[in-house]
Amino acid sequence: MNLNNVEYLCSATSPSDYPRHSLPEIALAGRSNVGKSSLINQLVNRNKFAHISSKPGKTQTLNFYNIDDVFSFVDLPGYGFARVPDEVKDNWAAMIEEYLFHRSNLAGVILIVDSRHKPTDDDLMMYEWLLEMQLSHLVVGTKVDKLSNSQLKPNREQIFNKLRIESQTPFTYFSAKKGTGKNEVWNFIKEITS
């Protein structure tokens, strides 16, 4: 992968809009505004490839990207944003569920949590879905540039405790700002797409 050929494919709200390709897909899941789109941009070395929100809840569709014809990123709508009507929330959950439970291209999921805070009940539900479906996954604690060195160990423990993660589960801290953890995320992607 030389990342010379990265392109936006399409946005979808239902399976009939999903791209018809045979690429393995890596989905990015996480709360609204956690940094899903920023993680994609950092990985492909672009500033404005995946759309970054100024307001939480911006990504309300599944957005598909082709990465060098090797795999496809799927930026999922962020969950857990409080200031939207319940019917919109239900709609998001249904969209995410439909994709995760039925998409045969799905090869793995990167679950992104905010490293500064305790994961939410929504994060736990998402993590439990991944286990239930036995999907390959990587948990990423993002925005680590905002943590002091002394917070690294306790905050990691907070994430592991809330999600009830087994110690052998792959985890990495990440910063879309500084590029921390980029190699770890790429290693996970390469492992499941090769």
Residues that bind ligand GTP (CB under 6 A): 30, 32-38, 52-53, 56-59, 78, 142-143, 145-146, 175-177
CB 26 within 8 A of CB 64: no
Residue 32 contacts Mg ion per CB under 5 A: no
The least distance separating Mg ion from the CB of residue 131, rounded to whole angstroms, comes to: 24
What, of Mg ion, ligand GTP, none, does residue 172 touch, CB below 5 to 8 Å by kind? none
DSSP state at residue 31:
B
What residues contact 83, with CB distance under 8 A and at least 6 apart? 56, 57
The least distance separating ligand GTP from the CB of residue 116, rounded to whole angstroms, comes to: 10
3-state DSSP assignment of residue 33 = coil
The least distance separating ligand GTP from the CB of residue 145, rounded to whole angstroms, comes to: 5
3-state DSSP assignment of residue 67 = strand
Q: What x/- string results for residues 58 through 87 when contact with Mg ion is judged by CB under 5 A?
A: -x----------------------------
Look up tokens 């949590």; give the residue: 113
As to burial, measured by CB atoms within 10 angstroms (0-12 exposed, 13-18 middle, 19+ buried), residue 170 is: middle
CB 10 within 8 A of CB 19: yes
What, of ligand GTP, Mg ion, none, does residue 32 touch, CB below 5 to 8 Å by kind? ligand GTP
The least distance separating ligand GTP from the CB of residue 31, rounded to whole angstroms, comes to: 7
- Taking each helix axis as running N to C, give the angle between helix 152-163 and helix 121-132, from 0 to 180 degrees, rounded to the nearest 10: 60
- Closer to ligand GTP at the Cβ: 69 or 125? 125
Which residue of 34, 37, 81, 109 would you call a contact of Mg ion, by CB under 5 A? 37
- Closer to ligand GTP at the Cβ: 45 or 69? 45
- Closer to Mg ion at the Cβ: 38 or 158? 38
Question: What is the bridge-based pairing of β-strands 25-30 and 62-67?
Answer: unpaired
